[in-house]
């Protein structure tokens, strides 16, 4: 399993167990960089410690602060908004360049449902 696949699996398992999703924002709002596929992706993480590592180790995100979201709010509001805006969801991006899987909101919803029903 690749590092990105392991991070994605951890994301779904951990948020299903904790009921919390983490994002980051600064004075301009939430980041949504353009991905390799040409689609913007908004990153989310499964724990505050993962977010803190990104803020600490990725210079582009050094001025961001963690934002805690309830999983139900994430599923009902955020995924719907990301779908409407045609954004992907970055799951547990990691490393010095904050990279990982970018999934469609529909795929994120399906994976969350799978992990919640295990």
Which pLDDT does position 63 carry in this prediction? 96
* pLDDT band at 5; cut points 50, 70, 90: confident
Residue 65 pairs in a beta bridge with 25
Helix or strand (DSSP H, E) at 114? helix 105-116
* Segment 11-48, tens digit of pLDDT: 999 999 999 999 999 999 999 999 878 899 999 999 99
CATH code reported for the domain at 3-112: 3.40.1350.90
Give pLDDT, residue 1: 64
Give pLDDT tens digits for 54-99.
999 999 999 999 999 999 999 999 999 999 999 999 999 999 989 8
Q: Residue 18 — φ and ψ, nearest 5°?
A: -90, -30
Q: How far apart are CA 20 and CA 4, in angstroms?
A: 20
């Amino acid at each position: 399993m690749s590092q990105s696949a392991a991070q994605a699996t951890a994301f779904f398992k951990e948020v299903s167990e904790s009921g919390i999703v983490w994002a980051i924002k600064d004075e301009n709002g939430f980041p949504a960089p353009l991905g390799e596929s040409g689609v913007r992706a908004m990153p989310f993480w499964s724990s505050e410690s993962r977010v803190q590592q990104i803020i600490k180790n990725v210079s582009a995100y050094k001025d961001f602060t963690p934002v805690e979201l309830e999983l139900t709010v994430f599923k009902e509001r955020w995924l719907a908004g990301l779908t409407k805006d045609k954004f992907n969801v970055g799951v547990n991006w990691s490393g010095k360049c904050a990279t990982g899987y970018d999934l469609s909101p529909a795929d994120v919803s399906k994976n969350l449902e799978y992990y919640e029903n295990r």
